[in-house]
A and B are shown apart, each in its own frame.
Chain A
Amino acid sequence: MVDLFAADTLGFIVVSAIEVITSVLVVTAKKLVWATFWLGSTLVTIAGLYILFGAQLIAVIQIIVYAGAVVPLMLFGIMLTRTKVMEEEGA
C-alpha cells in the first residue's frame, strides 16, 4: 500500500496530474501558439518529475534544452509563417 500522504507521493500526484492535463491540451488547443505553450508546461512538469526521481541534472537539462530552446524554436516557426492557414475553411 502506497502512503498517499507522503510528501513525494503527493508531489508526484500533483505534478503528473498537471502533466497529463497539459499534454491533453497540447493536442486539443485551437491555436498553435497555445499548443506550444502547453507543450512547454508539459516539459517543465516532466522536469519536476525528474526532480522527484532524484535526477536533478536531467531535470535542469530538460528545462534548458526543451522548455528553453525547443519550444521557442517552435514558436518562431509558427510566428514566422502565415497564421491564416489554420483559420481557412477546409485547411
Chain B
Amino acid sequence: MTAPPLANGPLVNLPYVGTVLARFVVFIINSILGFIGWLIPPLNVITNPIASWLASDIIIALLAILLEITLVIAWATVVHLLTFIWIERKVVARMQDRRGPQLSSLRQDFWTGKRNPFIGFLQQIADALKLIQKENITPTAADKWMFHLAPGVLIASTVFILAVFPWSETFVVSDLPVGLLFVFAGFSLAPLAILMASWAQNNKYTLLGGMRAGAMMMSYEIPMVLSFLALVVMAGTLDPILFVRSQEGTNIMVPQRLQGMLGWIPNWYVLSIPGFLALLVFVLSMVAELERVPFDVPEAEEELVSGWLTEYGGMRFGMVYGFKWLRTLLASALVSLLFFGGWSGPVLPQEVWFLIKTYLVFLVFIWVSWSVPRIRIDQILHLGWHRLIPFTVYNIFLAGLWVLAAALQSTVAYGLLGVAVLVFVALFVVPTLRVRGRMPAGLSGEERAGR
C-alpha cells in the first residue's frame, strides 16, 4: 500500500484544545484565589496550597479530559443532532411533497436580503423550549424511580459511545485499542434501558412495544457484529484510527501491473466483495437497531399508540426521542468509518471528509426509511435469525479468502475466491428469489375469522 499523493490532515487536536482550556480555567481560578489572598493576607494559608494543587499536572489532566468530553458532547448534540433532525424533516417533507418547517428561522432578509437557506432550522429549538415548559407527568401506577431512571440509562449508554468515537485522527477523547468494540457495547446497552422503561410505565402498550424493541434489537445485534467481524478480518484491528488507516491507499485487489491505471481506487471496504455484503447486512441491522421505519414495529403508531415511549411526556420524551437521532448520527458516522474510508480522502481536512460521508449515509437512511412500509415482527425476527446470521457467518469466510487472495495474488487463490462466491450465490441469492413462498405468511382473513 502506498500513501495517497495528497494526504489530508486533521483540523482539530482535541487533547491540545482540552489542555489549553483547562490551563485557562485554572489560571482564572488561581487569579481569583490570589486576589483573595492579597485582599485578606491571613487566608494565604488556605489559598496558596489550593492554588498549587489546582496547578498540578494531574488536576490539569483531569480537567482537560472533562472539558474534552464536554466539547465532544456539545459537538455531537448542538451541532449535528439539531442539523440531523432538521435535514430529516426537510427531506421527508420534500419526499411527501410538502415544505416542512419553514417559519422558525432567523429573520430571512436580515443578513443577505435573500431567502434564508437554513429556513426552519430553529424549529428544533422551539420544540425543545415547548417540551421544557410542559408539565412533567408521572403515571400513578408507574414504578416512579425506574420511570425516571430509564431515560438516563438510555442517554448514558449513547453518550458512552462518544468517549471513544473519533471524528478525525486527533479529534477523539480516548483512543482505545478496542474502540470499535466499545461502540458496539454502547449500542448493546440500549435494550436494557428500553425494557426498563417499558416495564416501569406499567401500561400494556409500552410493555408490548418494549418487548418488540428488545427482541428486535437483541436479534439484530448478532448480524451487525458478525458483519463487522468480516471487516475486522480484513483490517486486522479494532482501533478506529488504525481501521481508517487500513483503508487508505490503493485497493489491495489491484494487481501490480495495473497500479498506474487503477491506482486511484481506494481500499475502502465497500469496494470489496465481502465488505459490500457486510455493508448490506450492517445497514439493515443498524436501521433495526435505530427503530427506523421498515423496522419500527416497537412504536407502530396504529397499534401501540407510541410504543415504549407512550407514557413519557415533556422534556423526558424530548430527550429520549432526540437521543434516537444521536444514535442515528453515530450509526451513520460508524457506517462511513467502517465502509467508506472514514476521513481518508485528498486535500480537504479529515473532519470535512468524515462529515460529508456521514451526512450522505444519513441521507440514505432517510431515503430508505421513508420509502418502504413497515414489516411484521415475525418477519423481522425470521429475517434476522434465519437469513442474516448464516449470511454473515459465510461472509466472514469470504473475507478470509479475500485477504488470502490479495496477499498471494495467485491464480489458485483467485480461483478459490471465485468458487466461494459461486457457492455464496447458490446458498443465499438463489433461495432468496423464492423468498415470498418461504417467509412465514400471516393468517388470511378467513383463517383469522375461523379461530
A residues lining the B interface (CB < 8 Å): 7, 31, 33-34, 37, 40, 56-57, 60-61, 63-64, 67-69, 71-73, 75-76, 79-80
* Size of interface on B: residues with Cβ below 8 Å to A: 28
Partner of B184, one of A64, A72, A76: A64
For residue B204, give the distance in angstroms from its CB to the closest CB of chain A: 12
Partner of B199, one of A40, A73, A75: A75
CA distance A76 to B38 in the complex (A): 64
Q: Are B192 and A67 in contact (CB under 8 A)?
A: yes
Q: Are B182 and A60 in contact (CB under 8 A)?
A: yes
Q: Are A76 and B188 in contact (CB under 8 A)?
A: no
Q: Are B143 and A72 in contact (CB under 8 A)?
A: no
Q: Are B176 and A68 in contact (CB under 8 A)?
A: no
Contact with A along B24-63 (1 / 0, CB 8 A): 0000000000000000000000000000000000100010
Q: Counting chain A CB atoms within 10 Å of each CB, which of B143, B177, B185, B215 scores highest?
A: B185
Per DSSP, are chain B's interface residues mostly helix, strand or loop, or mixed? helix
For residue A82, give the distance in angstroms from its CB to the closest CB of chain B: 13
Between A and B, 8 residue pairs with Cβ closer than 8 Å are: A40-B192, A57-B178, A63-B188, A67-B192, A68-B192, A72-B195, A75-B196, A79-B207
Chain B residues whose C-beta falls within 8 Å of the C-beta of A69 in the assembled complex: 188, 218, 221
Contact with A along B225-252 (1 / 0, CB 8 A): 1000000000000000000000000000
For residue B50, give the distance in angstroms from its CB to the closest CB of chain A: 15
For residue B113, give the distance in angstroms from its CB to the closest CB of chain A: 54
Q: Are B211 and A37 in contact (CB under 8 A)?
A: no
User: Who on chain B is nearest to A68 by CB?
Assistant: B188
**Would A7 and B58 be within 8 Å (CB), given that A31-B143, A33-B196, A68-B189 are in contact?**
yes
Q: Are B181 and A68 in contact (CB under 8 A)?
A: no
Interface status of B128 (Cβ within 8 A of chain A): no
**Would A75 and B195 be within 8 Å (CB), given that A34-B146, A37-B146 are in contact?**
yes
For residue A81, give the distance in angstroms from its CB to the closest CB of chain B: 13
User: Who on chain A is nearest to B198 by CB?
Assistant: A79
Chain B residues whose C-beta falls within 8 Å of the C-beta of A56 in the assembled complex: 176-178
Q: Are A79 and B199 in contact (CB under 8 A)?
A: yes
CA distance A31 to B202 in the complex (A): 14
Chain A residues whose C-beta falls within 8 Å of the C-beta of B225 in the assembled complex: 64
For residue B107, give the distance in angstroms from its CB to the closest CB of chain A: 48
**Would A79 and B211 be within 8 Å (CB), given that A31-B143, A37-B196, A60-B181 are in contact?**
yes
Chain A residues whose C-beta falls within 8 Å of the C-beta of B209 in the assembled complex: none
Interface positions, chain B 189-228, Cβ under 8 Å from A, are 189, 191-192, 195-196, 199-200, 207, 210-211, 214-215, 218, 221, 225
User: Who on chain B is nearest to A57 by CB?
Assistant: B178
CA distance A64 to B183 in the complex (A): 10
CA distance A69 to B221 in the complex (A): 10
User: Who on chain B is nearest to A62 by CB?
Assistant: B185
**Would A68 and B191 be within 8 Å (CB), given that A33-B196, A76-B214 are in contact?**
yes
For residue B146, give the distance in angstroms from its CB to the closest CB of chain A: 7
For residue B99, give the distance in angstroms from its CB to the closest CB of chain A: 41
Q: Are B185 and A60 in contact (CB under 8 A)?
A: yes
